[in-house]
Structure 1
Amino acid sequence: MNTWRTTAGGPVVTYTLIGLCCLAFLFSPASGFNPVYGTGEARLAAQSAYFEQWGVVPVELLSASPRALLSPLTALFVHGSWLHLLGNMLFLFVFGAMAEERMGRIHFLLFYVGVGCLALLAYALANAASDQTLVGASGAISGVLGAFLFLFPKARVTSLFPFLFFLPLRFPAWIVLIFWFALQWLAARGAGSGPGVAYLTHLVGFGEGFLYTWVRYWRTDTVGDHTAATEGERQP
């Protein structure tokens, strides 16, 4: 029996999150499009200050200052480069839409924000004395991937693989998830400092997402049969 239910209006929360992240990036110094921040060294200095203002700085967050307490939320909408933004938004688009339509809009939004903030908090706790800044939605998106793997274990999704010249091909979801973690590991290795630190947020986020959906749905059919194959039902 096909238990798929499409929410009227589509995955509004997923698309809104993508839009907010893109807008925040375009107005940030990292995009290079906002003339307010100047060019060259001036833009780099503004970019560093921007990340410190809106990103998670562990030593400040754990000091419990009012501004820093909001940083896990604001950091979810800040990205460090075009590659960082586009990679995150691609995976949110592919996996977020189906997860949202199974979980419901409000539930999905609270899940996304909660998992993302907890993943960033885990980073801060593991690096309590660090003054390095962490930004990005990777922890929240990793949580979405974890939820998706539980809800749609047999799904096939359309995705773009760089080494296949960005051709849109359909793969089992678990293969795409492996590719996601490989990309995150390479990005963390290329960061230059603390190569395994940012990766912790991805692992924590994924674990939180999977465990939450397991506890929430394993004894109920609220979201339908999570073992049903979804190939051909919908392409996000």
Structure 2
Amino acid sequence: MVIPVHDVNPVRRTPWVTYALIVVNVVVFLGTPGIAGSVAGGSPLAQLCHLQAFTEHYAAVPRELIHHRLPSLVATGATGIGPHGPGCVLGPPGYHKSPALSVLTAMFLHGSWLHLLGNMLFLLIFGNNVEDRMGHVRYLVFYVVCGYAAGYGFALFDADSAVPLIGASGAIAGVLGAYLVLFPRARVWVLVPFLVFLPLRLPAWIVLGFWFVLQAVYSSGRGVSDTGTVAYAAHVVGFLAGMLIALPLRPGTPPPPEPRRLLLGRQARPRHTW
């Protein structure tokens, strides 16, 4: 897996929507009940129960999206002693949940710092150019549409699942798909793990194409021991949705600047033919 760190593709205007999305995701993460304890690795049971109750309320659940069946019992956030020892108390939901709206709220929830920072890194690197090409309002609508496509697409693959779906990765996958369509030749600096992290500058079509192939392989269950914790199918659907939406914008998209060749970290002087 390669880690992108920067793209050689300047923008003409400030990507305010991309910055705002990053800020909102971070603020929601910091305000999620019980998340601080779970990040530290030693969360007491009470914090875990609060986190479970919050997630069940605001996360997207495939069974709810497809069948509109809300659970009769959910975590209440309280703790108790049951036949199997201490655990979270279940009870009737004390709230009304809209399955369709839960897809939107789930886009801003993350389960760990690694989950959050990984998503925000991809959004920061690739979102600014897509926003620059689409404009602020259209880009925001595009982001939400890709997130909905990813959420419902994943639910269709496992319509009876009661496992909550959280994270911005489905919407961000749409951003990656749009970037691939609009700027396939843009250069992206990446870190490749090979004994140490090697910095390489690669075309976007290689970086994003490789990322998409990995998601497609993982979504089929091959190459990973446990696909239950990552919604790879949502990434695939979001990516394809982003590509399709961006296709009409490709003809009028100016190409990224040609990068100057680098020689051992220094700018190489062009050779002249006399």
TM-score by length of 2: 0.69
Query: Is contact 1:95-1:148 (8 Å) kept?
Result: yes
CA distance in 2, matches of 1:114, 1:162: 34
CA distance in 2, matches of 1:23, 1:184: 31
Q: How many residues align?
A: 219
Which moves more between the two structures, 13-22 or 164-173?
Answer: 164-173
What's 1:56 paired with? 60
Q: Which amino acid aligns with 1:81?
A: S
| Mapping 1:1-236, distance limit 5 Å | 6-7=12-13, 10-29=14-33, 31-32=35-36, 39-62=43-66, 63=68, 67-161=98-192, 169-178=200-209, 180-181=211-212, 182=214, 192=226, 194=228, 198-214=231-247, 216-218=248-250, 220-221=251-252, 224-225=253-254, 228-232=255-259
CA distance in 2, matches of 1:169, 1:186: 25
Superposed displacement of residue 131, structure 1: 0.7
Bigger share in strand: 2
Query: Is contact 2:218-2:232 (8 Å) kept?
Result: no
State the SS of the aligned residue for 2:145. Answer: helix
Q: Which amino acid aligns with 2:57?
A: Q
Query: Is contact 2:215-2:233 (8 Å) kept?
Result: no
Bigger share in helix: 1
CA deviation map 1:48-75 (0-9, x unaligned)? 2222111111122231775222011001
What's 2:91 paired with? none
Q: 1:46 to 1:69 in 2, by over 3 A?
A: same
Superposed displacement of residue 231, structure 1: 4.5
Structure 1: any 5+ residue segments left out of the alignment? none
CA distance in 1, matches of 2:138, 2:197: 33
Superposed displacement of residue 232, structure 1: 4.7
Which protein has the larger Cα radius of gyration, Structure 1 or Structure 2? 2
Could you say what the CA RMSD is over the residues aligned between the two structures, in angstroms? 3.1
Q: Which amino acid aligns with 1:26?
A: L
CA distance in 2, matches of 1:112, 1:12: 14
CA deviation map 1:178-221 (0-9, x unaligned)? 554448977997784647x711111001111111111x224x52
Superposed displacement of residue 44, structure 1: 1.9
Identity of aligned residues (%): 47
CA distance in 2, matches of 1:162, 1:31: 30
State the SS of the aligned residue for 2:133. Answer: helix
CA distance in 2, matches of 1:121, 1:180: 21
The runs of at least 4 consecutive aligned structure 1 residues that moved more than 6 Å come to 183-191
Which moves more between the two structures, 114-123 or 169-178?
Answer: 169-178
